[in-house]
Structure 1
Amino acid sequence: MTHSIRLVIAAPILAAVLSLSVHAAGPIRWEISSSEQWMAGRGEHVAITREGRITLGPAVTVLHEDAAPALWTAVPGPDGTVYVGTGNDGQVLAIRDGTSRVLWDSDELQVHALAWHGDALLAATSPDGRVYRVSPDGQATVFFDPDETYIWALAVDRDQQVYVATGSKGRVYKVGRTGGSPMVIFDSAATNVTALSVSASGEVLVGTDSPGRLYRVSPGGRPFALLDGPYSQVQAIRPAPDGFTYVLAVSPTATTASSPPAASTSSTPTPVVTTEVTIVSVGDTAISASPGSSTASTPASTAGAKGAVYRLGSDGLIATYWEASGELPFDLTVAGDGRLLVAADNGVVYALDGDPVRMSRLAQVPARQLTRIVPQGPRFILTGSNPGKVLALAGATASSGTYTSEVKDATTGATWGLLRWDGDTPNGSTLRFSTRSGNTSTPDETWSDWVALRDDDGTQRIDSAPARYLQWKVELGRSTAGAAPALDGVTLTYLPRNQRPRIASLTVHPPGVVFQQPFGTQEPPDLAGFMSTTPAPARDQALAVATPTASGGAVGRRLYQKGFQTFQWEATDVDKDDLRYQIWLRRVGTDEWRLLARDLIGSVYTWDTSLLPDARYLVRLVASDARANPAGSALQAEREAGPITIDNTPPQIQVRDQPVGSSTLTFEVTDASSPLERVDVLLADGKWRSVFPEDGALDGSKERFQVPIGELGEGSVVVRATDSMANLATLEVRTTAPARAPGRR
């Protein structure tokens, strides 16, 4: 049986057919042009401006490399010497004119804070918390010895009184200028006091850890909470000349120092100022809490941010100034031009300015965690950890620098194409590009060497070997006249190796099962995946594009259509190439595959089986990306299923000659291809009745039946036979009732 479809193609649908786009696995562009994209790479003596440009940055000099893994703090001296507190060795280093020496070697493991006290240096040690006064010749005396495990910060007011931040009891001590008469001016429920700043008026700003809060303690000793933010630790407090104070708060997931252990309870009496604290949360209402408990809830931290800089005004109001979504910040300082410089993880120094704030990456130095940044004349001193380093960030621009991109993963082997860039090279300044490639995600000794771009008649081509990963770098150089180049954007092209499509499944639905086209407008039969043999299936293809029917996706209502066979599949292509499908059939017992359908779109195909002879067939689905790839590089995938049975021929009914006077109707039903499903007879009263073969089981392709004529009634009898493929045959038989015996009624 053949179905025909009247061809009606509306103009919009025809346009859709003619304009079907083909996604090709052609060259892919890798573009870098924004500040966020630039910051994924690493620079040396280069800066990333807030406008998204790469320029030469401050010159960076390594002043000292230390065997200690952590350098915690630094202060500059009046004679140009830089004093540094170290970890693990518990030393104070003196660095000047490229040489370094140990000024003082403590008995403790860590020197976390340094501060000038007259002409001597105060050094705070841990884990046996003491404050030492170290003279210029390296002689040290104990200045203050509280019953505390850690001392995290020091501050000295204009009267040379010293403020000491401790842990793990979370206290602040005020110590007289000679070291006597210590007094607890702040006692919180926090584990540690981590930051201090004292104003000219005698007010003390206190930052705590667990919870991370900022307090203001008046000269009279009354604390007032200014900040109860979402971060676990207040790391630094820095006043600025314009009257604002900047506060760095962080939630470090990992730091170079282990968390301080809990200290044992001491019975030594110390004067304590008992207070009630009023807490003002950022964006929240006021809550009261006593210093012995912490009842204020801490808001959830801003999604994705590792820390923030808050700006505190002279009126006591505080607001978020900047959120750190990139590297974890460790310290900040206020530059002479008003900018905030933030020292962070991965050797990054950010510069913040403006309102609203705008960020640039001022430098990236050869260090890991930058634990401290302090000004020293026109330059800035940085201390780093892992490994321990002291570096100087010059006030002048470097004469040359290098920016190295992040590693690009092409996801498969690729050949590299062109590199284009936008920027400026004024007055003889230079930008020199090179690339390298490899097949490991992290560059190692197996990668190719750096190679310069190849100039092909003015076109810059990448000369690195084909591989999965690529990295590029640019060397920036100033001209002899001092002009510096700038880079605004880089675009690279590459051609990934074509990858083979994948057929995840091929489903052969039961014979006759079809699906109505979802949201279809096709004239009957409105079946998903059905395409008439004539005319050309352009309109069906457009419908397939408009309403894809991927396996597991949207198919319409399940219907039954005799003689139809539906195939459904799920296929993917890593390259996102447009796939086209073919369906092939092979008759069981032969070697020849016959093409049933080609250039199919979507993932369902319904077929009228009456077009082929009855037999058993194997099915092969072929998925090809040939439309999206050049000849010779196209790939295909195959999957087979079956065998399936095609049977459009009804059973045959053959009635045996009925002897005169016979009391039964005897007939045979045979089917060449399929098992018999049902046999019925139409009785004289107009009702159908099922009949069963002589052996009682209707399970073969040939069965013999004997039906008593007396049960059928006189006249014509219709026999109906149906096979498992719903093919139906009928035969009319005229029966004669047997003669009655004489004398009987």
Structure 2
Amino acid sequence: MRLRLTLAALFVLGGLAALFAVTSKYLSDYKFDDVANYQLSNVCLVQNSGIELAHAYSSIYKTDKLIWSLVQHDGGYLMGTGDSASLVFLKNGESKEVFSLPKHLFFTDIYISASGITVSAIPDAKIVVLDPAYTPVKTIEFDNTYIWKIVPSGKGYYALAGDPAMVYYIENDEIKFSVKLEFEDNIIYGKIVNDTLYFCGEKALYKLDGQKAVAMIAFDNAVTGFDYFDGYLYVTTSSKDLYMDYNILKMSQGKGQNPDPNTMSVLYRVHPNGAFQKVFEKSGIRFIAVSHLKNSLIIGTDERGGYFELNTDYTRVKYTSLGKGKFLKFLETKDGLLAILLLPSEIVKIEEGYAKEGTYTSDIFDAAVVSEWGTPIIEKELMPGTDIKFLFRSGAVEETEYWGEWKSLKDKIACGPARFIQYMVKLTSDGKYTPFMKEVNIPYVEWNLPPQFKSLTYKYSETFVNIKWEAADGNNDELIYDLYIAMGEKGWVKLNPSPLKNPSYDIEYKAFPDGLYRTKVIVSDERSNPASGGKTNLILGESFYVDSAAPVVSPIEVKPEGGMYVFTFHAADSLLPVFKARYSINGAEWINILPVDGILDSKTEKFAVKIAVPSPSFVQFAISDVIGNISSAGVYVK
């Protein structure tokens, strides 16, 4: 299944008016591009599929200052903010500054231990140890400009530094040793995995072997995020490095950046032994941070609060936009995932459940001429407690400020005749499930009758299924057809290399994988209307099965009973119910039999058939599925 944002024709509306299919921008089966340009609010785009509600999220805290660090503490949160370094305690919606270093820009990290609170400040890097009352008890000064990260380890912690790039190990508030990396400017991220420190500079991933830094992977672009999840290290890289881009403090938010098509971002999965692979990459958008929520990876970006969500085998990708802000960091908690956003500065909590409401606004579609709108063709799925509502608006010019108001969809689109049209989808839920919108096709009316479909049917035989459709044209134009099929949620596949003249097509079972298929036929009268390009129409057929495999019959057990024999076996089909079962003795007449439960209605059936059989004899059983695939198995009775 997929989301197509197109205009497509289906029904004739009114006496002389007709529908006309045009090409428009759409999100195709095979591309997931320009996601940052879509107008999303609490909804997510599902790659190759459609639209659903996003995770619920709530705002925890907003400020006009830069938020750079965040930890849970004493039933609330400690935040490191700037432009002047300030440590702020947040609890129950109230905030209070508890410590500050006015000569520093901000606190880059916060470490809570049993003995107190440790914070790192930049520039002119220093680490300050505070007691529980936030009183300084120890200050460690460094020759570095930056201390970016504090990584707890054993009885002490590592401090990851920049300008120059160094790793310090500190215990009892004293530096025990340090490691300098000559070819890096900054060490920004670090994780302890199996008692080993793994850390990232701007160019590579390293691990600490004793007091030596060992490079594991060199990256093409700057490292922007680091996480450990499900036994693997995950690293995001991008063409630009947010940490080093201090001009971000001066940037205006507006609607969001215009994505740079030359930007390339990559997610790497790295085994602690050094084996790695690229598992996800995108152009035109920057990956800024990576974390995880339950069984999914979360990748924050710099576009309108946008983030990607990937399942653990990377086969399902979603994109969600919070509508504003740029992700900086994540903090995993028991009740959700906290995120620090920039521009504006905000802390939000992303929860496991679904949002209660979300909207998607389509592109503006141009019908090229003034048109009357019909009844849209919509593919959607609703779960308990969910709903989807549609609103439409239209206008004579492309600028929407001169359009009419949004109008709810009841049956036919209620907008007046116009050249341009746009729709909005509102998804609602009780938070337990999400509705799902797969496809929207908008019919519209103009002069000249298009072809019309009357029916689409299937006829099964032993070797193929025949797809037959009936179409007519009000102008008696010559019609040609294109036939598409799709298996499951996969995209449409066109079967005919050249247009079909005959409204019928045979699909041989053995030529396609077994499965449940959908059908779409597009008809055109373009050969009778070469100047205008003709009119098109489409019909979506019901699902049909391709099944070339016969049921599997288990070994037959034979037991004598009261002068007769009981034959026991199972028959199972992977796709369709077992439809017919028979037996024959010595090649004589076939006799129908039923399974143990008395009805043939399942893909797996058990048989226990009691038969009077003369000795010796051959007894043969034949089992077929709904389509007619037959398997046979027999025994010899002495």
Normalised-by-shorter TM-score class: 0.5 to 0.7
2:418 corresponds in structure 1 to: 466
Q: For the Cα contact (< 8 Å) 2:373–2:417, is it kept in 1?
A: no
Which shifted more, 424-433 or 383-392? 424-433
2:240 corresponds in structure 1 to: 252
How big is each residue's C-alpha offset from its partner over 1:331-384, in whole Å with a ceiling of 9 and x where there is no partner? 1113343x21212222122222233x2343264224320111221113111110
Q: For the Cα contact (< 8 Å) 1:29–1:492, is it kept in 2?
A: no
Q: For the Cα contact (< 8 Å) 1:111–1:123, is it kept in 2?
A: yes
Q: For the Cα contact (< 8 Å) 2:60–2:347, is it kept in 1?
A: yes
How big is each residue's C-alpha offset from its partner over 1:128-150, in whole Å with a ceiling of 9 and x where there is no partner? 32222344433345532112222
2:227 corresponds in structure 1 to: 238
- Note closer, same or farther for the CA distance 1:137–1:42 as it changes in structure 2 (3 Å cut): farther
User: Structure 2 matches for 1:150-299, cutoff 5 A?
Assistant: 150-161=146-157, 163-178=158-173, 180-181=174-175, 183-201=177-195, 203-209=196-202, 212-219=203-210, 221-231=211-221, 233-240=222-229, 242-252=230-240, 257-258=245-246
Distance in 1 of aligned mates of 2:367 and 2:83: 44
What SS does structure 2 have at the residue aligned with 1:431? strand
1:44 and 2:41 matched:
yes
1:293 corresponds in structure 2 to: none
Deviation at 1:494, TM superposition (A): 5.6
Distance in 2 of aligned mates of 1:425 and 1:192: 50
User: Structure 2 matches for 1:20-35, cutoff 5 A?
Assistant: 26-28=20-22, 30=24, 34=29
Distance in 2 of aligned mates of 1:472 and 1:55: 16
1:367 corresponds in structure 2 to: 324
The root-mean-square deviation of aligned C-alpha atoms, in Å, is 3.8
Deviation at 1:94, TM superposition (A): 2.6
Distance in 2 of aligned mates of 1:450 and 1:364: 23
Supply the AA of the counterpart residue of 1:390. I
Paired residue for 1:401, among 358, 363, 370?
358
1:487 corresponds in structure 2 to: 437
Distance in 2 of aligned mates of 1:627 and 1:331: 49
Paired residue for 1:122, among 112, 118, 125?
118
Larger Rg: 1
1:103 corresponds in structure 2 to: 98
Distance in 1 of aligned mates of 2:320 and 2:184: 35
What SS does structure 2 have at the residue aligned with 1:36? coil
Paired residue for 2:274, among 302, 316, 319?
316
Deviation at 1:258, TM superposition (A): 1.8
User: Structure 2 matches for 1:703-722, cutoff 5 A?
Assistant: none
- Note closer, same or farther for the CA distance 1:126–1:415 as it changes in structure 2 (3 Å cut): farther
1:683 corresponds in structure 2 to: none
1:476 corresponds in structure 2 to: 427
Distance in 1 of aligned mates of 2:159 and 2:267: 23
1:591 corresponds in structure 2 to: none
What SS does structure 2 have at the residue aligned with 1:358? coil
- Note closer, same or farther for the CA distance 1:114–1:447 as it changes in structure 2 (3 Å cut): farther
- Note closer, same or farther for the CA distance 1:412–1:399 as it changes in structure 2 (3 Å cut): same
Distance in 1 of aligned mates of 2:234 and 2:187: 17
Distance in 1 of aligned mates of 2:307 and 2:364: 25
- Note closer, same or farther for the CA distance 1:495–1:81 as it changes in structure 2 (3 Å cut): farther
Q: 5+ unaligned residues in a row in structure 2: which ranges?
A: 1-17, 249-260, 448-525, 536-638
Q: For the Cα contact (< 8 Å) 2:34–2:284, is it kept in 1?
A: no
How big is each residue's C-alpha offset from its partner over 1:96-139, in whole Å with a ceiling of 9 and x where there is no partner? 33333333333122223233333533322222322223444333
What SS does structure 1 have at the residue aligned with 2:89? strand
Supply the AA of the counterpart residue of 2:364. K
Deviation at 1:49, TM superposition (A): 3.6
2:64 corresponds in structure 1 to: 67
What SS does structure 2 have at the residue aligned with 1:374? strand
How big is each residue's C-alpha offset from its partner over 1:421-440, in whole Å with a ceiling of 9 and x where there is no partner? 10122446321111345688
How big is each residue's C-alpha offset from its partner over 1:584-620, in whole Å with a ceiling of 9 and x where there is no partner? xxxxxxxxxxxxxxx9x9xxxxxxxxxxxxxxxxxxx
Distance in 2 of aligned mates of 1:138 and 1:439: 64
In terms of fraction of residues, the more strand-rich structure is: 2
Paired residue for 2:285, among 327, 330, 335?
327
1:348 corresponds in structure 2 to: 306
Q: 5+ unaligned residues in a row in structure 1: which ranges?
A: 1-23, 261-302, 498-577, 579-598, 602-624, 630-745
Deviation at 1:414, TM superposition (A): 5.3
Paired residue for 1:112, among 104, 108, 111?
108
What SS does structure 2 have at the residue aligned with 1:181? strand
Deviation at 1:390, TM superposition (A): 0.9
How big is each residue's C-alpha offset from its partner over 1:522-573, in whole Å with a ceiling of 9 and x where there is no partner? xxxxxxxxxxxxxxxxxxxxxxxxxxxxxxxxxxxxxxxxxxxxxxxxxxxx
Supply the AA of the counterpart residue of 1:371. L
Deviation at 1:391, TM superposition (A): 0.7
Distance in 2 of aligned mates of 1:118 and 1:342: 32
Distance in 1 of aligned mates of 2:116 and 2:402: 54
Q: For the Cα contact (< 8 Å) 1:430–1:479, is it kept in 2?
A: no
Q: For the Cα contact (< 8 Å) 2:264–2:286, is it kept in 1?
A: yes
- Note closer, same or farther for the CA distance 1:176–1:403 as it changes in structure 2 (3 Å cut): same
Q: For the Cα contact (< 8 Å) 1:236–1:248, is it kept in 2?
A: yes
What SS does structure 2 have at the residue aligned with 1:449? coil
- Note closer, same or farther for the CA distance 1:326–1:361 as it changes in structure 2 (3 Å cut): farther
1:420 corresponds in structure 2 to: 377
Supply the AA of the counterpart residue of 1:335. L
Deviation at 1:182, TM superposition (A): 5.3
